[in-house]
């Protein structure tokens, strides 16, 4: 085989291999479909994903069907145990979503007590972040209370959403 023929063969093999390399990341449309089937609602519907999975994610291809669990703190957990990745998909309030419901004062009895651990939530329609904090005071649903990470840290003002969950005012995740 001549040198030119060998280079031509290698170049054509490289072009044939390119589509296989392009599919080295998980199909995010597939993840959107799996979440919709599991929670029983489409993107944007009550109980469904608040937004499509972030298209900037570059997840390894899952050889199995990714497992969906939740809702946990208002999000579905999508996990591929065989590869080792897990992502949170925020859910729209309704049909079993445990967090993000409209705040309605049902009783003025405190549901968060001073010293209780609480999840401090912040985020928007397409993302949510949370941090474990300690309540500095008692609070009922809708009350504004101070929470802090530890005794030395500065307090943060947050609104009680439900038992064990507070939200930073100004972030609209509803």
Give the closest residue to 170 by CA, choosing from 131, 120, 122: 122
Q: Where are the beta strands (DSSP E) in the chain?
A: 67-72, 75-80, 85-90, 117-123, 128-135, 144-148, 156-162, 165-167
Q: Which residues make beta-bridge pairs with 147?
A: 135, 156
Place of tokens 């608040």: 50
pLDDT 10s digits, 18-74: 444 455 899 999 899 888 888 888 888 888 899 999 899 899 999 988 888 877 778
Q: What does the block give as tokens for 2?
A: 């001549």
Residue 40, Cβ density class (10 Å: 0-12 exposed, 13-18 middle, ≥19 buried): exposed
Does the structure show a pLDDT above 50 at 98? no
Give the separation between CA 95 and CA 25, rounded to whole angstroms. 31
The set of residues, in sequence order, having a beta carbon less than 8 Å from that of 78 and lying 6+ positions away, is 31, 34, 35, 53, 66, 67, 68, 86, 87, 88, 89
Q: Using 50, 70 and 90 to split pLDDT, how confident is the model at 135?
A: very high
Place of tokens 């919709």: 36
What's the predicted TM-score (pTM) here?
0.44
Does the structure show a pLDDT above 90 at 1? no
Q: Please, what are the domains in the chain?
A: 3-90 (no CATH), 117-167 (2.30.30.760)
DSSP one-letter code for 14: H
Q: Can you tell me whether residue 10 is helix, strand or coil?
A: helix
């Amino acid at each position: 085989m001549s040198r030119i023929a060998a280079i031509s063969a290698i170049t054509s093999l490289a072009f044939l291999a390119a589509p296989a390399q392009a599919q080295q990341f998980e199909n995010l449309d597939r993840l959107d479909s799996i979440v919709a089937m599991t929670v029983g609602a489409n993107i944007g519907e009550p109980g469904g994903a608040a937004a499509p999975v972030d298209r900037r994610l570059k997840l390894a291809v899952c050889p199995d069907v990714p497992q969906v669990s939740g809702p946990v703190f208002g999000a579905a957990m999508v996990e591929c145990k065989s590869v080792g990745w897990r992502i949170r998909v925020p859910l729209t309030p309704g049909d079993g979503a445990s967090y993000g419901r409209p705040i309605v004062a049902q009783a003025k009895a405190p549901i968060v007590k001073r010293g209780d651990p609480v999840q401090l939530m912040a985020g928007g329609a397409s993302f949510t972040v949370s941090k474990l904090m300690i309540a500095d005071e008692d609070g009922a649903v809708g009350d504004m209370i101070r929470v802090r990470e530890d005794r030395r840290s500065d307090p943060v003002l947050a609104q009680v959403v439900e038992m064990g969950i507070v939200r930073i005012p100004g972030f609209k995740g509803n």
